[in-house]
Amino acid sequence: MAHIILVRHGETEANRLGIYQGKITDPFLNLTGNRQADAASEALKDFQIEKIYSSTSMRAIETAENINNYHEKSIFATDELLEIDHGLFDGKTLEQIKIEYPEILEVWWNHPEKVKFPKGETLKGAHRRVTQFINDVITGITREIRSVNDNSDVLIVSHGGAITLMLMSILEIPLRNFRKFPRISNTGVTLIKVTEKGPSIIAVNNTCHWNCRTNNLRQLIKPKKTEQ
């Protein structure tokens, strides 16, 4: 058994101000975001993380670097984990988008499976991109479990929309239900258990490292490294 740990990046000023950030807008973490990433690092220190993948966005790489403090592994950055490319929505607030692109916004809200962001990508395109990545990771883990009984964990640091699409793919949820899926918070941790039989999701958007008194992720995983 192994785990895939999906983590959304920490907060940025764009998050705080309600500004769309996708492929183009790429701010660094703000003070809150750095504290969230530090808390996530502490919460995940007992996992046997052997591989770390990150979006090429700086906010994701910064978060991955913080979590990596306890693991000291190489971080593999890939465009496949980038956020949905919002095109001309990028860098704008919702109020600005309501004025400039009301028809596209209506499609995005009510028929997300049909949206094509101006000079960006479709939700279907983003779904294909992240589905291929997560499927490859799951296939690699199950192959290693079957061949060498490897129980090492994989950390993936990405974005709210991208993580949502990965989970919808695993659960075979149609894209028309994108808006019904729980929102992924900054540094929200989603835990996927992988066995020879495949993946099962055991926690979605856990933020107890940031807003609870106890780290309940420890109740969901195998014994600490020091206990094995």
Q: How far apart are CA 38 and CA 61, in angstroms?
A: 13
The rounded distance, in Å, linking the Cα atoms of 153 and 50 is 6
Q: Is 93 annotated as a binding residue?
A: no
Q: Catalytic residue among 3, 9, 71, 159, which?
A: 9
9 annotated as a binding-site residue: yes
35 is in an annotated binding site: no
Rounded Cα distance, 31 and 7, in Å? 18
Is 172 known to be catalytic? no
What backbone torsions phi and psi does residue 48 show, to the nearest 5 degrees? -90, 70
Which two tokens mark 12? 């940025």
| 3-class secondary structure, 41 | helix
Residue 14, marked binder: yes
Instruction: Mark whether 9 is an active-site residue.
Output: yes
CA distance 180 to 175: 10
Residues 6+ positions from 192 with CB-CB distance below 8 Å: 3, 4, 5, 6, 170, 199, 200, 201, 202
Q: Is there a binding annotation on residue 8?
A: yes
Catalytic residue among 3, 62, 71, 83, which?
83
- The answer to whether 134 and 166 have CB atoms below 8 angstroms apart is yes
Residues 6+ apart with CB under 8 A from 69: 41
Please indicate if the annotation marks 59 as binding a ligand. Answer: yes
| Cβ(34)–Cβ(208) below 8 Å | no
Residue count of the chain, please give it: 228
Residue 33, both tokens: 């975001």
Catalytic machinery residues? 9, 83
Q: Known binding site for substrate: residues?
A: 8-15, 59
- Residues annotated within a binding site: 8-15, 59
